[in-house]
């Protein structure tokens, strides 16, 4: 049987009970190669299979292996996410090994809920393996992301060796047996690859939900994974699109009553200003403040950013028109200390913002007056006028109606 036929058979077998994996299997580009000893995934998220290894496995082991590579490493972008911990995996073999072990643990914890293949599991990294190595509780490890497992292993300076299946580059050698989605053609950027897999994971998850059973572990992993990341361009696109949407519906025939001297489209296509309400209260540490400034810096590449720092009151407004202005202008003006109240900063923003600006609150979300009716009212008003608004948080993730919550990580 060829690899392509095997994969078709596996997908058909899984479709009824585990559509999550079956659906993802169809998306990936799969390549036969001699360049890896068993199997592997590269930075483009192409999946490689060595046929002399593959042919020795029975169907259950094949199913486990292909699910591990595709629905685990490829779909959850383990080779691309490695950069957050190991900037140069080709030159850091032991860190690369640790990342691979961490990723294997996360994948295998997820797989346990779907496919049991004792013969493969015997050699696989599991939560129990990590618990033995670190003394951490198995249940806690099962809830950890790859990054968290990596940090845990680094803290404990453990040494283990496994068969590596994360390829620290773009391999590209071998014969393609399944093209997969066009999102994985050779010329796609990491951002495009990430975006594509996020979409596929979301759809695979919905398919699984429709089938009736979603293990709790998968629910958590998927939620974490498909949560929007902080991409300034995506937020800007969203902001401009929101403006265009309104233009088509309401402003198309007659000029705006509020701005009669402007043609609707000249107003609508303005690039929105970004309002960055920056928490500078006592609970914000130096690293967090650096992260906030880094975020403002990113945004200043794409739009004017107006920064209002606040603790129990709001401080003066600082504008950064270019990234180079962020540190000298903004950092110098960040004041604060003491408690956190957002009311004043919201009032100032609401008074000065234009319709369809973007509003971001950079905070740890320990905000004392968040639940007050007056503040809730201001939040609704700001959200109503903005094209996109979000809490970018380093701490807790409180849901606020009409606002997105974006986790901020360095
Ligand atoms: Zn693996």
Expressed in angstroms and rounded, the spacing between residue 144 Cα and the centre of ligand 1 is 16
Expressed in angstroms and rounded, the spacing between residue 263 Cα and the centre of ligand 1 is 57
Instruction: Report yes or no: 173 and 26 within 8 Å, Cβ to Cβ.
Output: no
Residues 78 and 119 in one domain: yes
CATH number of the domain that 335 lies in?
Answer: 3.40.50.410
DSSP string, 327-351: IIIIIHH----S----HHHHHHHHH
State how far the Cα of 97 lies from the Cα of 397, in Å rounded to an integer.
Answer: 32
Expressed in angstroms and rounded, the spacing between residue 80 Cα and the centre of ligand 1 is 14
Expressed in angstroms and rounded, the spacing between residue 83 Cα and the centre of ligand 1 is 17
Expressed in angstroms and rounded, the spacing between residue 111 Cα and the centre of ligand 1 is 11
Q: What is the DSSP letter of 320?
A: E
Expressed in angstroms and rounded, the spacing between residue 76 Cα and the centre of ligand 1 is 12
Expressed in angstroms and rounded, the spacing between residue 212 Cα and the centre of ligand 1 is 28
Which pLDDT does position 75 carry in this prediction? 96
Q: How many CA atoms lie within 13 A of 223 on its CB side?
A: 9
Expressed in angstroms and rounded, the spacing between residue 153 Cα and the centre of ligand 1 is 17
Expressed in angstroms and rounded, the spacing between residue 101 Cα and the centre of ligand 1 is 7
Expressed in angstroms and rounded, the spacing between residue 223 Cα and the centre of ligand 1 is 22
Expressed in angstroms and rounded, the spacing between residue 353 Cα and the centre of ligand 1 is 49
The alpha-carbon radius of gyration of the chain (Å, integer) is 24
State how far the Cα of 303 lies from the Cα of 318, in Å rounded to an integer.
Answer: 14
Residues 357 and 392 in one domain: yes
Residues 126 and 251 in one domain: no
Of 226, 247, 282, the one marking the end of a domain is 226
For residue 359, the cross-strand partners are 275, 389
Expressed in angstroms and rounded, the spacing between residue 104 Cα and the centre of ligand 1 is 4
46 — phi, psi (to 5°)?
-75, 145
Residues 201 and 258 in one domain: no
Expressed in angstroms and rounded, the spacing between residue 278 Cα and the centre of ligand 1 is 40
Q: What is the DSSP letter of 144?
A: -
Expressed in angstroms and rounded, the spacing between residue 154 Cα and the centre of ligand 1 is 19
State how far the Cα of 80 lies from the Cα of 87, in Å rounded to an integer.
Answer: 10
Expressed in angstroms and rounded, the spacing between residue 182 Cα and the centre of ligand 1 is 24
Expressed in angstroms and rounded, the spacing between residue 307 Cα and the centre of ligand 1 is 44
Of 226, 255, 282, the one marking the end of a domain is 226
Expressed in angstroms and rounded, the spacing between residue 377 Cα and the centre of ligand 1 is 49
Residues 50 and 133 in one domain: yes
State how far Cα 269 lies from the chain centre.
Answer: 28
Expressed in angstroms and rounded, the spacing between residue 332 Cα and the centre of ligand 1 is 47
Which pLDDT does position 94 carry in this prediction? 92
Expressed in angstroms and rounded, the spacing between residue 376 Cα and the centre of ligand 1 is 46
Expressed in angstroms and rounded, the spacing between residue 164 Cα and the centre of ligand 1 is 7
Structure tokens at 372: 């007050």
Expressed in angstroms and rounded, the spacing between residue 61 Cα and the centre of ligand 1 is 14
Expressed in angstroms and rounded, the spacing between residue 15 Cα and the centre of ligand 1 is 23
- Domain residues for the domain of 164 are 3-226
Which pLDDT does position 203 carry in this prediction? 86
pTM over 0.85: no
Residues 286 and 396 in one domain: yes
Residues 247 and 359 in one domain: yes
Expressed in angstroms and rounded, the spacing between residue 100 Cα and the centre of ligand 1 is 7
Identify the segments of the chain with pLDDT beneath 70.
Answer: 226-271, 410
Count of the separate structural domains present in the chain:
2
Residues 103 and 16 in one domain: yes
* Interior angle at CA 26, CA 25 and CA 31, nearest 5: 80
For residue 318, the cross-strand partners are 307
Residues 241 and 377 in one domain: yes
Expressed in angstroms and rounded, the spacing between residue 354 Cα and the centre of ligand 1 is 50
Of 178, 194, 226, the one marking the end of a domain is 226
Structure tokens at 229: 């990341």
Q: How many CA atoms lie within 13 A of 299 on its CB side?
A: 28
Instruction: Report yes or no: 333 and 346 within 8 Å, Cβ to Cβ.
Output: no
Residues 106 and 203 in one domain: yes
Spell out the SS3 assignment of 45-80.
Answer: CCEEECHHHHCCCCHHHHHHHHHHHHHHHHCCCHHH
Region of 180 (left: φ > 0; alpha: ψ -120 to 50; beta: rest) is left
Expressed in angstroms and rounded, the spacing between residue 309 Cα and the centre of ligand 1 is 45
State how far the Cα of 295 lies from the Cα of 306, in Å rounded to an integer.
Answer: 13
Instruction: Report yes or no: 396 and 366 within 8 Å, Cβ to Cβ.
Output: yes
Expressed in angstroms and rounded, the spacing between residue 69 Cα and the centre of ligand 1 is 6
Expressed in angstroms and rounded, the spacing between residue 204 Cα and the centre of ligand 1 is 20
Residues 31 and 173 in one domain: yes
Residues 189 and 271 in one domain: no
**Would you give the end-to-end CA distance of the chain in angstroms?**
47
Expressed in angstroms and rounded, the spacing between residue 407 Cα and the centre of ligand 1 is 27
């Amino acid at each position: 049987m060829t690899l392509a036929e095997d994969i078709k058979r596996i997908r058909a077998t899984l479709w009824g009970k585990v559509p999550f994996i079956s659906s993802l299997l169809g998306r990936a580009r799969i390549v036969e190669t001699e360049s890896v000893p068993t199997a592997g995934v590269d930075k483009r998220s192409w999946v490689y299979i060595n046929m002399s290894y593959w042919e020795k496995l029975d169907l259950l082991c094949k199913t486990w292996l292909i699910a591990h590579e595709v629905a685990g490493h490829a779909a959850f972008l383990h080779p691309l996410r490695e950069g957050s911990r190991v900037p140069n995996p080709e030159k850091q073999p032991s860190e690369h090994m640790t990342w691979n072990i961490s990723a294997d643990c996360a994948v295998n914890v997820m797989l346990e809920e779907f496919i049991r293949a004792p013969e493969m599991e015997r050699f696989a990294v599991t939560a129990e393996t990590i618990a033995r190595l670190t003394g951490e509780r198995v249940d806690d490890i099962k809830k950890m992301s790859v990054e968290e497992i990596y940090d845990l292993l680094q803290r404990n300076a453990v040494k283990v060796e496994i068969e590596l299946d994360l390829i620290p580059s773009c391999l590209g050698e071998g014969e393609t047996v399944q093209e997969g989605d066009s999102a994985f053609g050779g010329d796609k950027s990491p951002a495009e690859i990430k975006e594509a897999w996020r979409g596929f994971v979301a759809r695979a998850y919905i398919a699984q939900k429709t089938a009736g059973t979603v293990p709790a572990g998968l629910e958590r992993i998927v939620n974490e994974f498909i949560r929007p990341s902080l991409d300034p361009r995506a937020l800007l696109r969203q902001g401009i699109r929101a403006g265009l949407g309104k233009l088509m519906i309401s402003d198309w025939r007659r000029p705006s009553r509020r701005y009669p001297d402007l043609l609707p489209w000249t107003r609508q296509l303005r690039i929105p200003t970004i309002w960055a309400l920056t928490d500078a209260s006592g609970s914000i540490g130096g690293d967090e403040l650096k992260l906030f400034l880094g975020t403002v810096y990113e945004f200043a590449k794409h739009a004017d950013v107006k920064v209002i720092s606040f603790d129990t009151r709001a401080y003066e407004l600082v504008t950064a028109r270019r990234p180079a202005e962020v540190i000298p202008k903004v950092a110098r003006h960040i004041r604060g200390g003491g408690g956190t109240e957002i009311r004043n900063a919201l009032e100032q923003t609401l008074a000065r913002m234009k319709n369809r600006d973007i509003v971001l609150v950079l905070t740890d979300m320990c905000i004392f007056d968040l639940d007050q009716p007056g503040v809730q009212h201001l939040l609704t008003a700001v959200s109503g006028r903005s094209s996109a608004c979000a809490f970018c948080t380093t701490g807790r993730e409180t849901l606020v109606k009409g606002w997105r919550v974006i986790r901020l990580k360095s």
